[in-house]
Amino acid sequence: MTGHASRQTETDPQTQVVFKILRPREWTDFCTSGRFEGSPDDQRDGFIHLSARDQVAGTLAKYFAGEDELRLLAISTHHLPANSLKWEPSRGGALFPHLYTVLYSDTVIGESAIARLPDGRHDIPDHILLLGCGDTGEDTGR
């Protein structure tokens, strides 16, 4: 993430990649249908909760502690419908990306399993977090 004269912060609205964590059933349904209408929490709040690169670890720790078989989706903001992504204050006043439409599979540019370490923390795959950072990333088969 170096080499840019004016580097954007991870929560800058111009960020090109945002992330969604899916539980096993959500992942299976997404693969089958090609769409995700949100978790029960998303549906309650009226938008799909996403995270910027620097927010993924905190989101995992706060909302997915102790959970296994999670998937991390990397979503291109350029493939989302116009005005469907809003950066709004959330945890501690930080701006988080909120998606006000269905998430379709054609917006996903990468995905990976999230393993749990012996101490219970989640092991976030570096290759997925690097998507949109100026490298080509790794082909994850999606």
pTM above 0.85, yes or no: no
Residue located via tokens 């209408």: 37
At 93-118, the pLDDT tens digits run 899 999 999 999 999 999 999 999 99
What integer pLDDT is reported at residue 140 of this predicted model?
Answer: 39
Residue predicted with more confidence, 64 or 133: 64
Return the domain boundaries, the chain. Answer: 17-129
Tell which CATH architecture fits domain 17-129.
Answer: Alpha-Beta Barrel (3.20)
